Homo-oligomer: A and B are copies of this chain.
Amino acid sequence: DGNIADGQAKSSSCAACHGATGKASNALYPNLAGQNEAYLALALHGYKNGGRTGGQAGVMQAFTAGLSDQDISDLSAFYASQKP
Contact = CB atoms under 8 A, between A and B. Distances in A.
* Copies of this chain, tallied across the complex: 2
Interface in A18-68: 24, 27-31, 33-39, 42-43, 46-47, 51-55, 57
Contact of A28 (B27, B38, B57): B38
Dominant secondary structure at the A interface: loop
A53 B43 CA distance: 11
Most buried by B among A34, A37, A39, A52: A39
Contacts of A51: 53-54
Contacts of A30: 30, 35-36, 39
Give the interface size class of chain A: 20 to 34
A54 to B, nearest CB: 3
Contacts of A46: 54-55
Contacts of A31: 34-36, 39, 84
